[in-house]
Structure 1
């Protein structure tokens, strides 16, 4: 059943099919306006904790879209952010929400880059270089957001988009923490497995750029390690596995405490990382209070690993790309242990070569 929504200026749109849902809202396709109308979707939030505050949040984000700091963030094609374009309300039930660009026009779900099966099916040309590019793009985008005073707060794969070139987009802008004049709009959302340790179990702890930086490191690790969460694994001390968050709080991470967790034999090898990135991960996940690497530092390091001469193509499998620092292919090592994150494409049917008509000077014809 179609849903009609109206903006404060009286413009109406028709929402058609439901295309997604999250912890607070539901996303719908917006009926095409024809011509060169941009592809739009609408997010409706049926029961916000404070409806008036939520409406004010959306109105401020819509207004900020025209401010210089946001214009810069939205520059370029494709747009990297599903920024609120107009606040809307359903005509019958008065449910609030907003229109935003349809990220599906240029991107696909971020998760398709995190598993071999999804990559092979949906991004058949993806290599480790694609993962590096996506990690660099995500870090650069987050660095730009932090520089303009935005804190994502609930950074996770479900809010991210990626294309075949490794370009990254971000949605759920309405959950960010930001300032508008003298009014502060806090962020309270968090997701298990994608929460910095200082916010785990602390219901009132607001997000900070440093908490975003922790989750960025988690996502970069997943991209570079074929989906492996840095705090995945069964505790080696005999404790029961409870959750990723429990492992985070107890510092169970292969990169910072090698013997703290047991992982499947076919997991991506830890030593596939360039030294500079391995050092950043150890700093990001260290239990000491020293500052974590920021998003801009991650972006510089990741972009450096994409520089000419920093990547090598395996002689056995062209899908296997790895750092020049590694004298042999880590993905072939992984394949020998029962898993291959970037398998070679299956051989297709070989078409029979057309039979040539022998020419008078073709001596091969005489031998047939």
Structure 2
């Protein structure tokens, strides 16, 4: 009899735990839905209930803290997230949320301290590098910001955010990297609000880089020694094929230039400097999709009406490329990082 009662009690406990867990899960889903809909007060009410049931639930903590953050109650947001960043239970997203809170509270010293602590704990987190770079850039510390974004590209090469910020930074500093990072970005993040912005930057970077010889000259230090062999080889290959742009810089002439670039690169430099972006360009060229790809980047940035007319007239060609591109995830493998650590 006692055994039976013990078994029944255990069963009730298990059932109660399952219902409680399910309830917290449902509350989390409801709270997130309310938060995404902009109803922060009700999101906070629902998530606070879930938090009281499971104060150590990481997903609940992040959602509740972020709801407080979005409602501009930064003090409460920090109260919720702080146990996670002070202890061992938090992930990199916890530190991202906390960083945004400190910035909103204008506690810049605490924010910088937090980001540095976070990157020691999560040295491969691309999003943390991106946020830390944004923070440094907001303090008008551009050289420090780009160093952090570069570290993010090296540590987490398939995260798009650092390429986005780096390509914008290099647009005024080094057009070669603006072009390289910009094209990597649009392949990684091809359907967001940031994509058209970087497509336009890419088109303008090509126009600008061929406007002065100095933009394609070799990079050398004060003693005339090469600074970055990879970048110098990219510049040399672009310079060698500049005749393709004789009629002006547009989608058609850029397709010709870039086709010649791919052929030259793989005959001279690809063995020493394997680079996923150039592999992808060659694959598209070999499979007859390179024109559609260049239309997608440069045609859409140059003139949307003309681009749409081209797509209508070449529907099969474009759909072949677009289906191919949507069917795969573009990633840069680790080890294909060729930026110089410190530029002179």
Give the TM-score normalised by the residue count of structure 1: 0.24
Q: Hey, which of these two has a bigger chunk of helix by percent?
A: 2
Give the TM-score normalised by the residue count of structure 2: 0.26
More relative contact order in 1 or in 2 (CA 8 Å, sep 6+)?
Answer: 1
Q: Which structure's CA Rg is the greater one?
A: 2
Q: Hey, which of these two has a bigger chunk of strand by percent?
A: 1
